[in-house]
Structure 1
């Protein structure tokens, strides 16, 4: 993404003047989230960034933490919070130490995964959309989710190698926009649909860069992808579109930071980092440079308004109310989906 690369490059250049890492704490994160544009206030106070280690997806990150990997903070999506609590990996967040807690979007701050049992378990940070991204010059006519099972797209489709995202796609395709409506019959219908699409799948993507490159080259014509893919390719002058038609469906996701129990860094540094991430200026950077939405409601007023409108973030609460949220999948359903998704990918 050109704008992201430029902004990140400037931020990294500024960071180099301080040194590569302040080293006070270790953050376990998705690749790319060591971008200091997200936590400039921390860099200014500590003279550098914290140490970072990375995971490819939530399940890999969870398994690594459960096997003994030590860090102070981790960045899961909210669907993983229940498992992390059950495994005794995280401890409650002290919101009295968060300067911007009262500025966070209510829908995110009040999620049951975030707030339960009288405690706060995650500081929401980023959220966004997962939708149908396609090459407008390579796919003729109208497109909808069910078209990804059309033999005309054989070998030209990519789905995420993340069970919640894949089943979110299938749920919308079979008419489910609320996980409480996923009956056994609808689950079977969604699974059958994924099996039909599997015949057209060239690869299941786990790395956005891999997917973006495949769409850019024309290898992939249509994919269920994060909204950052659309923005990245548009900046590279690739004719793509993310379908935002309610009749087609868009899913939303939300991720944030948790305080790990086995971390060896100081709580003061942990909360310095969380405060930097939660600030509206961090959100402005996230919106403008990455195209993702931020948890701080104040971010939308100070970010570039053309970008805010283009991404559909002018009214974040309404947008989230009309989306299928992947993180609200009941635990029993999530386990059922995981088992069936592995069978589908294996061709069964």
Structure 2
């Protein structure tokens, strides 16, 4: 059985990227898990791991027990999980930890550059990935996963971050991100304490293309827009779980950027929410598994292979309602979900995965990651 060191409840996914009119990946269908998840064929690596522990660091849910049953039940492997409330926290925990403390991590694609620059991750041998060739081609050669011809991450899920709202108070949702500035929404918006996600909402609202590095001038434009939004906010919360709670208590009516997972969490508390993609577009993201320096690589590959298998990925898709990178997952999904993910090529064509702000821009006109973070801090204290 998996055990977890809880940092915060249901804290998933921080996003960035942009697309206009993207297909949305809705959440949490009330469907059963696979009745019989195939047991992995015995292999020397798995036999070697029998009765041992795999140490996982990352987002809660990406270590979903239902997907890991073939390892935890058949091989008596324990998954010891440590969660981070955002990508920066996951990065900080890995950097502060000792070599070998974690065997596998999950993180957003925009954070991989920082992990690489700080020598915190090791190359992945795709020959040891049993489902590598089943990934959609778009997820096998992204600029953020390949360095000097070596692969450093295994993408496993992707989606986007729309505006989520309570139709009891906002019957028709919003058409534009700028609708959040309307007087009737004063004090009724909840947002996440994540610089990139929120500043990208602001950039979309003012017409900035975020599928590239943005300039300092554009960052300032985003700041000015967000300062207009700030009086509209009920709360800036540290996690998506807290966002769901604020909406479930009806303290807020809608969000800026969000994640569709909160729809399922609010439903569990008796509140129905909906989502909308404003006309300016939303943010796209892709989450990855990576192997830290010093990891037990046998443990890491066993974990990644199970979670990216068609059966393991199917369990994650049903549990989270997110798009999966394994092309063989869709036929295993319940019929209502198959319809959503049937034309994945079209979905991927509308879902770019832009880079995070550079740590040290070569062009002095480009805003650095530190400047994005400082801008967000300035907004919060203004």
What's 1:213 paired with?
245
| CA spacing shift, 1:292–1:236, aligned 2, 3 Å | farther
Match of 1:275 among 302, 305, 312: 305
What are structure 2's unaligned runs of at least 5 residues?
1-26, 38-49, 362-366
Is 1:336 equivalent to 2:371 in the alignment?
Answer: yes
**Structure 2 equivalent of residue 108 of structure 1:** 139
In 2, the alpha carbon distance for the partners of 1:157 and 1:128 equals 22
Instruction: Show the counterpart of 2:380.
Output: 345
Task: Give the conservation status (yes or no) of the 8 Å contact 2:213–2:358.
Answer: no
- Aligned pair 1:317/2:349, yes or no? no
| 1:33 matched to 2:65 | no
For residues 252 and 119 of structure 1, the distance between their equivalents in structure 2, rounded to whole angstroms, comes to 24
- Structure 1 length as normaliser, TM-score? 0.86
| Residue correspondence of structure 1 range 20-99 to structure 2 within 5 A | 22-69=51-98, 70-99=101-130
C-alpha distance 57-141 of structure 1, shift in aligned 2 (>3 A): closer
Secondary structure, counterpart of 1:80 in structure 2: helix
| 1:158-193 CA distance string (max 9 Å, x none) | 122111211221222122344327344432221111
State the partner residue of 1:138.
169
Which residue number corresponds to residue 14 of structure 1?
none
Partner of 2:19: none
TM-superposed CA distance for 1:140, in Å, is 4.9
CA contact (8 A) 2:57 2:106 kept: yes
8 Å contact from structure 1 (residues 133, 240) kept in 2:
yes
How far 1:277 moved relative to its partner? Answer: 1.0
CA contact (8 A) 2:357 2:372 kept: no
What whole-Å deviation, never above 9, does each CA across 1:205-249 have from its counterpart, x for those lacking one? 23222211211221111112112123444566533221135x242
**CA 1:132 to 1:282, structure 2 compared with 1: closer, same or farther past 3 Å?**
same
> What is the CA-CA distance between 1:77 and the residue it aligns to?
0.9
The number of residue pairs the alignment matches comes to 332
Counterpart residue number, 2:263: 230
Shift in CA distance, 6/163, structure 1 to aligned 2, threshold 3 Å: farther
Q: For residues 267 and 357 of structure 2, what CA distance do their matches in structure 1 show?
A: 32
Cα contact 2:192–2:240 (8 A) shared by 1: no
Query: Are the equivalent residues in 1 in contact too, given 2:212–2:355 (CA < 8 A)?
Result: no
- Distance verdict in 2 for CA 1:162–1:316, change over 3 Å: farther
Pick the aligned partner of 1:122 from 145, 153, 159. 153
Aligned counterpart, 1:16: none
Change (3 A) 1:2 1:132: closer
Give, in angstroms, the shift of residue 284 of structure 1. Answer: 1.3
Asked whether the 8 Å contact 1:104–1:296 carries over to 2, the reply is yes
Q: TM-score, normalised by structure 2?
A: 0.79
Give the stretch that moved more between structures: 207-216 or 234-243.
234-243
C-alpha contact (below 8 Å) 2:124/2:151 kept by paired residues: yes
Shift in Å at residue 123 of structure 1?
1.0
